[in-house]
Amino acid sequence: MVRLLLLCHGNICRSPLAAALIRAAVDADPLLAGRVQVASAGTSDEHLGEGMHAESARILQSRGLPTGHRAQQLTPGLATAQDLILAADRFNIRAAEQQIGAAATRAKVRLLRDFDPAAIGHDLDDPWGFPAAAYERAAREIDAAIPGLLADLHARIGTVTEAQER
């Protein structure tokens, strides 16, 4: 099982949107379904227990995807349980370093958009407080990263499978 955590600031806009979109892609892939666990968290505690932002939920509803979500905060224990943490932006990486330590962060945390060859090193801008178009742009940028992420997950599953066979 590969454990994947999507990380943003408040865990109400970008990370739950990304988690739902990625979970749908993983579930549609017969080689990954049931072998990848996808969750999300925030570096901040300001939205703990809240549902996802209405615009993120609207995008998911328009695609027929579930919108059930409760915001949680990144903790050292949650981070330790993950194989890969994908941060929405560099601010989230710095916040994760403060919360879980720089060495752990370097080993597990990458930018989500690094899986889109056209966007390596680019942040997924926070749409909070902006019109619906900003949420749509975030969804498009997440969608663009999914093929590269799925390829990485395939490689990780292959590695896990080979190690288990030995």
Evaluate whether 27 touches 105 at the Cβ level (below 8 Å). Answer: no
In one letter, which amino acid is 21? L
Catalytic pick among 45, 106, 126, 143? 126
Does residue 125 carry a catalytic annotation? Answer: no
Residue 101 carries which side chain, given as an amino acid letter?
G
Active site residue 14: yes
Token readout for 137 is 């742009």
Q: What are the residues facing 3 on neighbouring strands?
A: 37
- Which residue intervals of the chain are DSSP H helices? 14-27, 54-62, 76-80, 90-100, 102-108, 132-165
- CA 103 to CA 89: how far, in whole Å? 18
Q: Which of 6, 1, 3, 4 is nearest to 111 (CA)?
A: 6
Does the active-site annotation cover 126?
A: yes
Output DSSP code: residue 34. Answer: T
Catalytic residue among 13, 14, 89, 113: 14
The identity of residue 84, as a single letter, is: L
Known catalytic residues are: 8, 14, 126
